[in-house]
């Protein structure tokens, strides 16, 4: 497990969420074909957090990038986009998050029809322009960004 993921899980637990790291999402053959990855293994999500009182599931992608320039987001896209598949590929996001919600309900980990929100937790964003553009994107999509300041 990654230390940054563990830190984010700890912070979310302090806010009343149950957390799990390295969550594997089982995709059917048809779902894999739908996202253009027919032979891919199970999808792995860095961190999943659930709050029973609101039936809210947070799907948190963790990018620490403490030893690099940080998350880069220019011209309404991530650089490089393949590192941010759930954010950059709408069909992939829809299929994976839908499959996760179904899986959690079937496992009894949450009740029917959870509200699923994709989140980005990052230790560093390249610059203030990237930060403003990311916040605007997430506000439009109703997603969340958490960054060390």
- CATH code where residue 19 lies: 3.40.1350
Question: What digits encode the pLDDT tens for the residues 105-138?
Answer: 999 999 999 999 999 999 889 999 988 998 888 8
Three-class secondary structure of residue 104 per DSSP: helix
What is the share, in percent, of the chain residues with pLDDT greater than 90? 69
Task: Please tell me the distance from the alpha carbon of residue 6 to that of residue 97, in angstroms, as a whole number.
Answer: 21
| pLDDT score, position 65 | 79
Host domain of residue 68: 3-147
> Whole-angstrom distance between the N-terminal and C-terminal Cα of the chain?
23
Task: Please tell me the distance from the alpha carbon of residue 41 to that of residue 49, in angstroms, as a whole number.
Answer: 22
Does residue 103 have a pLDDT over 60? yes
Contact 119, 144 (CB under 8 A): yes
| pLDDT score, position 147 | 45
Q: Quick one: pLDDT band at residue 64, thresholds 50, 70, 90?
A: confident
Question: What digits encode the pLDDT tens for the residues 19-33?
Answer: 999 999 999 999 999
Q: Quick one: pLDDT band at residue 67, thresholds 50, 70, 90?
A: confident
Q: Which residues contact 139 (CB under 8 A, 6 or more apart)?
A: none
DSSP state of 26: -
Q: Quick one: pLDDT band at residue 1, thresholds 50, 70, 90?
A: very low
Report how many domains make up the chain: 1
Q: Is the dihedral of CA 37, 57, 61, 47 positive or negative?
A: negative
Q: Token digits for 124? A: 């560093």
Contact 110, 59 (CB under 8 A): no
């Amino acid at each position: 497990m990654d230390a940054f993921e563990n830190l984010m899980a700890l912070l979310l637990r302090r806010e009343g969420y149950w957390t799990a790291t390295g969550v594997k999402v089982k995709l059917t053959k048809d779902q894999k074909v739908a996202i253009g990855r027919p032979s891919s293994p199970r999808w792995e999500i860095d961190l999943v957090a659930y709050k029973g009182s609101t039936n809210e599931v947070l799907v948190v992608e963790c990018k620490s990038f403490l030893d690099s320039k940080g998350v880069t987001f220019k011209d309404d896209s991530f650089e490089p986009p393949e590192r941010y598949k759930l954010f950059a590929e709408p069909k992939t996001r829809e299929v994976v998050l839908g499959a996760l919600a179904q899986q959690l309900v079937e496992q009894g980990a949450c009740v029917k029809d959870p509200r699923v929100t994709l989140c980005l937790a990052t230790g560093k964003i390249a610059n203030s322009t990237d930060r403003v553009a990311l916040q605007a994107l997430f506000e439009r999509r109703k997603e969340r960004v958490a960054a060390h300041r």
